[in-house]
Structure 1
Amino acid sequence: MRRRSLLAAAGAAAALPVPRQARANEPVDVALVLAVDVSRSVDEDEARLQREGYRTAMTDPRLIEAIRGGMMGGIAVAYVEWAGLEYQRLVLPWTRIGDQMQAEVWASALAEAPRASLSWTSISGAIDFSRRVLVDCPFEPTRKVIDVSGDGVNNSGPPAEEARDRAVAEGITINGLPILNDRPTFGRRPPIPLDIYFRESVIGGPGAFMIAAEDFDDFGQAVRRKLIREIAGLPAPDGFVNAG
């Protein structure tokens, strides 16, 4: 059932105007799954800021320069939205980005994609779904990365640590972008600060790191800095960097 759901989501997403069809086994510097929280704690304004953050970051000339400076001169990107254990969706399928025009087309496709908002937060579900998306990647990456962003701890499904460990065992790196907006989650504050939770329970694998955004307004800048590090394959000092 999960496999059929993933294929159906990929088929629907494939109808969106992505830059061009992939050539089988085309080499890229990194295959990157952007796994984005759309749980109930993310309201409409915050959801807009998240998407705008990714769109702006992906088209930033500094990011394009980092992409073109890689050995392969291109990256593969898939965009996933997730909430509780029952909801993960492939919004934009695997797309190769190697220049400004391809980045602009990708950003336009993301702006046009519909969005849902659901309850609960399953980081474990997001990681497991992203692993399956990576299995279907048509490109040949030198690295595989899942980029998890969110504003809450795992409260649906198995512990995030279990999913993280499965991904790391497959050679996947998980980086984090916690959004520290200091709002209660369903009336309860997280048991530990979100940045510490991401560091201890979410990120893992070779060169894993995270960059924290102080709030949703800070998200775009944090995304840009994080993507440049991921594309360049440079870990942050001590696995952690604050946005700014």
Structure 2
Amino acid sequence: MPSMRTGSGWLCRGALRAAALILGLSPAVAAESVATALVVSVDVSQSVDDTRFRLQMEGIAEALEDSSVVGAITGNPGGILFAMVTWADRADLVVGWRRIASRADAVATAALVRATPRQAGEFTCLGQMFRTVTAGVLPALPVPAERVVVDVSGDGIDNCTDAESLNGAHEALLATGATVNGLPILVPGENDVVGAGAYRAPGYGLLPTPLPQERTSLEQWYRAHVIGGPGAFLLAAEGYGDFSRALRRKFVIEISALGR
């Protein structure tokens, strides 16, 4: 059976047709590619209370409905593919792959994001999220994508994975050809400095290996351990109240494949 190459590996035509039926796409549409497949990956660990969780979900929904984002989406023939992952102790695909090709599609997807329930979890398991996206999310792409972007946001550093395993999971994700961009959420007085002796996230001292020994900023930690791949960039949010604004700008850059 013939296959197609995508940013996440090989997709057979039979799998594409089956996915098309699930998504309600015609076989002709299923054979097409999209310019961008976007995975929005959101930290929902213990530091993210109910208010912060809702700010994130509302921020993502508002970004999808924003006229500049919709313009970037509809500027791509066939629109984009969108999926959302939330992660704490584990990572869950909470909005499966959907094609967004119109304002109506964007509004419908935003409604799903707003309806996402809070996921229980204590730790910030970034490495586990990387592994889930690599093994479970990207191979499920329903049509080929010219580029795959994983958009990672959070307010802390990994606190449940040793450095070697984290780097291995990161490298495996980048090996798929995906670009990983970062959106660290900076909370003054809370995560100004991260690393041992500074930001002691839930589980600190109880884990098999300690948190990173260097004291650094969250932005620098994201640069070192999160972003990577073709055209990768970082854009910080100045607190949860700034999350929506930062994400709207980030979506436009990612979907339009603009230089930062």
Question: Paired residue for 2:137, among 121, 127, 133?
Answer: 133
Work out whether 1:92 is the aligned partner of 2:91: no
**In 1, Cα distance between the equivalents of 2:64 and 2:141?**
19
Using a 3 Å threshold, how does the CA distance of structure 1 residues 142 and 41 change in structure 2: closer, same or farther? same
Question: Paired residue for 2:185, among 168, 179, 203?
Answer: 179
Work out whether 1:161 is the aligned partner of 2:167: yes
Which has the larger displacement, 150-159 or 87-96? 150-159
1:21 shift after superposition:
2.8
Using a 3 Å threshold, how does the CA distance of structure 1 residues 235 and 124 change in structure 2: closer, same or farther? farther
Amino acid at match of 1:82: W
**In 2, Cα distance between the equivalents of 1:180 and 1:161?**
23
Counterpart for residue 81 of structure 2: 76
1:26 shift after superposition:
3.5
**In 1, Cα distance between the equivalents of 2:162 and 2:145?**
29
* Equivalent pairs, count: 215
Provide TM-score, normalisation by structure 1.
Answer: 0.82
The 8 Å contact of residues 208 and 235 in structure 1, kept in 2 or not, is answered as: no
Which has the larger displacement, 33-42 or 61-70? 61-70
1:25 shift after superposition:
4.0
Counterpart for residue 155 of structure 2: 151
Question: Paired residue for 1:106, among 80, 96, 109?
Answer: 109
- Which deviations, in whole Å up to 9, do the C-alpha atoms of 1:147-205 show, x marking residues without a partner? 11111001112433322211112211100000011414537898311001001111000
The 8 Å contact of residues 207 and 234 in structure 1, kept in 2 or not, is answered as: no
Question: Paired residue for 1:116, among 119, 122, 147?
Answer: 119
**In 2, Cα distance between the equivalents of 1:69 and 1:116?**
34
Amino acid at match of 1:119: E
**In 2, Cα distance between the equivalents of 1:113 and 1:63?**
21
Identity of aligned residues (%): 40
Counterpart for residue 146 of structure 2: 142
Amino acid at match of 1:65: G
Unaligned runs of 5+ in 2: 1-21, 191-198, 205-210
Counterpart for residue 8 of structure 2: none
Using a 3 Å threshold, how does the CA distance of structure 1 residues 25 and 42 change in structure 2: closer, same or farther? farther
**In 2, Cα distance between the equivalents of 1:25 and 1:31?**
15
**In 2, Cα distance between the equivalents of 1:179 and 1:31?**
23
Amino acid at match of 1:33: V
**In 2, Cα distance between the equivalents of 1:186 and 1:143?**
34
- Which deviations, in whole Å up to 9, do the C-alpha atoms of 1:7-38 show, x marking residues without a partner? xxxxxxxxxxxx95345344211111111000
Aligned residues: CA RMSD = 2.0
Question: Paired residue for 1:51, among 57, 63, 67?
Answer: 57
Work out whether 1:200 is the aligned partner of 2:224: yes
Counterpart for residue 13 of structure 1: none
The 8 Å contact of residues 209 and 235 in structure 1, kept in 2 or not, is answered as: no
Amino acid at match of 1:149: S
SS at structure 2 position matched to 1:152: coil
Counterpart for residue 194 of structure 2: none
